[in-house]
Chain A
Amino acid sequence: GDSVTQMEGPVTLSEEAFLTINCTYTATGYPSLFWYVQYPGEGLQLLLKATKADDKGSNKGFEATYRKETTSFHLEKGSVQVSDSAVYFCALIGSSNQFYFGTGTSLTVIP
């Protein structure tokens, strides 16, 4: 069945460091891929998405590219800020139209 495998955390970075959170997926057909962010004490928010191969989703300085050849959707940001501290979830919607989430990666950015 469909699934998402996400890099385990927690991740701790200094401000302005480069961030990569790995995400790979298993799905039949052509799923849509998402990154959600959960700030402390808040619900999930859609960060970015990509719906077909080679699409690049971007928002708030974060980017992720839909790589069908490697079944990956890694999240990157060139220079993280303290305000980026949150839990990040990779997710997909597959042919069943059901949402599958990764286990989440906690990011802490220290000044």
Chain B
Amino acid sequence: SAVISQKPSRDICQRGTSLTIQCQVDSQVTMMFWYRQQPGQSLTLIATANQGSEATYESGFVIDKFPISRPNLTFSTLTVSNMSPEDSSIYLCSVPGQGANGYTFGSGTRLTVV
């Protein structure tokens, strides 16, 4: 299965600033997914990032707040813009496995907004 390197692993940010999270995959993948895990909650899909096209956002998430880049088949970034304390969460990237092997996840970025 793919190996994902995600960084930063954690950050503490000031309100109103932006943070860009990076995910590097060791193989080429068509689809990458970005999830948010709020404290004590399950994972919520933010968007699907396909190379060469704009990301597809889930209900409740917008491009202005969470812009995504997907410049090639092994790399993607998610930016959390104009942050507020409500954005404090763990953010994870993910790629599909082969067949029914489930998804592989990055190690996550633990974001705290103060």
A99 in the interface (beta carbon within 8 A)? yes
Interface size (B, Cβ < 8 Å)?
20
Chain A proximity mask over B88-109: 1 for CB below 8 Å, otherwise 0: 0000101011001111111110
* B6: Cβ under 8 A from any A Cβ: yes
The answer, among A34, A44, A46, for a CB contact under 8 Å with B92, is A44
B43 beta carbon closer than 8 Å to chain A? yes
Total residue contacts A-B, CB cutoff 8 A:
47
Does B45 belong to the interface (CB within 8 Å)? yes
B42 interfacial contact with A, CB 8 Å:
yes
Residues of A within 8 A of B104 (CB): 46
Report B13-54 CB contacts with A as 1/0, cut-off 8 Å. 000000000000000000001000000011101000000000
Instruction: Note all chain B residues with C-beta closer than 8 A to A34.
Output: 102
Chain B residues 1-17 with CB under 8 Å of chain A are 6
Is A49 in contact with B102, judged by CB distance below 8 angstroms? yes
Q: Which residues of B contact A58 (CB under 8 A)?
A: none
Instruction: For A42, list chain B residues within 8 Å (CB).
Output: 107-108
Q: B residues touching A (Cβ–Cβ < 8 Å)?
A: 6, 33, 41-43, 45, 92, 94, 96-97, 100-108, 110
**Which residues of A does B touch, CB under 8 Å?**
32, 34, 36, 41-46, 49, 51, 89, 91, 93, 97-99, 101-104
